Amino acid sequence: MTNAREVKVGVLGATGTVGQRFIALLAQHSFFVIHALGASARSAGKPYSKAVNWKQTQPIPSAVREMVVQECVPEHFKECAIVFSGLDADVAGDIEQAFRTAELAVFSNAKNFRRDPHVPLIVPLVNTSHFSMIPQQQRLHSPALKKGFIITNANCSTTAVVIPLAALERAFGPIESCIITTMQAISGAGYPGVSSMDIFDNIVPYISGEEEKIEWETLKILGGLTEGDDGLKAFDMHTKQPLRISASCNRVPVIEGHTECVSVRFARRPPPSPQQVREALQAYTSEAYAIGCPSAPRHTVFVHEEPDRPQPRLDRDYQAGAGVCVGRVRQCRVLDIKFVVLGNNVAIGAATSSIINAEYAVLKGLVGA
């Protein structure tokens, strides 16, 4: 384990919604130090306070107020050990690729590389074992890399649900079927986001691409790694015990916090009781917390006993939004067990995941200071 102190980091897409969240969290970090900020050519050359339309609840951190924003090119970030990407998907691919090629460790919130067969898709409270794919990613890159790599975190709605699913699979073995209905906050659409005329007094029963993301990403995250005859590792997409997922996604008039109603069927018969499920969720701990990642929550899953919890307004900021809250665990008459999970989409569903992933990489010696 590396003694992590003073690790210089950069933020790409620093003026956007996710970039602002990265900055707000990193400004308080125990060993990450913001060294460079990147944004579009329109913002480059300006002090950060002049380039950003700041929408966070706390003031712009003093450490970055007068920091000059750079264009998103590797030469401006060469002193950084880690680069966090809050870039929009329409520009993230080529930029993140360039930073990896320049031997920088990229931790991305964008979707562009999530389906890459050599890029780990990591929810840090679930599948840190997938970091073992990094050497292969570096070896297969042309030219081969020594330090550069890309790690992605999952879609915000996937992240919230996959944490309790992982806890249940650890305790009771494979899940074979899962039905998910989401009620997703408007902040998930970025700023300015959903039109007020569309969301006031309304629910929008469609979020483009969201259902497909949940159904596919969950398999990559919960699946393991296999090794072929050629010695190459591959993500097995949960094929050893096929998992069928049906997701329905809705946008609701809540600012932050994705709420999801989940029903699961276990391969094991008879299935666990609701009480056994509550106990397993409460007992679940992550490797990230165990090794001392400072942003990892002590309670990966907080289980509510009250019949009307979790609720976004009351529960989204518990543990700074770094874990998830589960309630209403009960028997399902169609599958086996059903419950409600709440995840803070702008914390563990976005920047916080990337930061914990980077903390894990530093503490495991995968990234140097």
Query: Could you give the residue numbers annotated as active site?
Result: 156, 258
Cβ–Cβ < 8 Å for 242, 175: no
192: buried, middle or exposed (CB in 10 Å: 19+, 13-18, 0-12)?
Answer: exposed
Q: 281: closest CA among 290, 291, 289, 273?
A: 273
The C-alpha torsion from 145 through 20 and 191 to 52, rounded to 10°, is -110
The alpha helices in the chain, defined as continuous H runs, are: 17-26, 48-51, 62-65, 89-101, 134-140, 156-172, 196-199, 210-222, 274-283, 287-290, 312-315, 352-363
d(CA 185, CA 193): 10
d(CA 147, CA 141): 12
d(CA 67, CA 173): 50
d(CA 126, CA 219): 12
Strand, coil or helix: 199: helix
Cβ–Cβ < 8 Å for 34, 12: no
Instruction: Give phi and psi for 335, each to the nearest 5.
Output: -105, -125
DSSP 8-state secondary structure symbol assigned to residue 239: T
d(CA 341, CA 161): 7
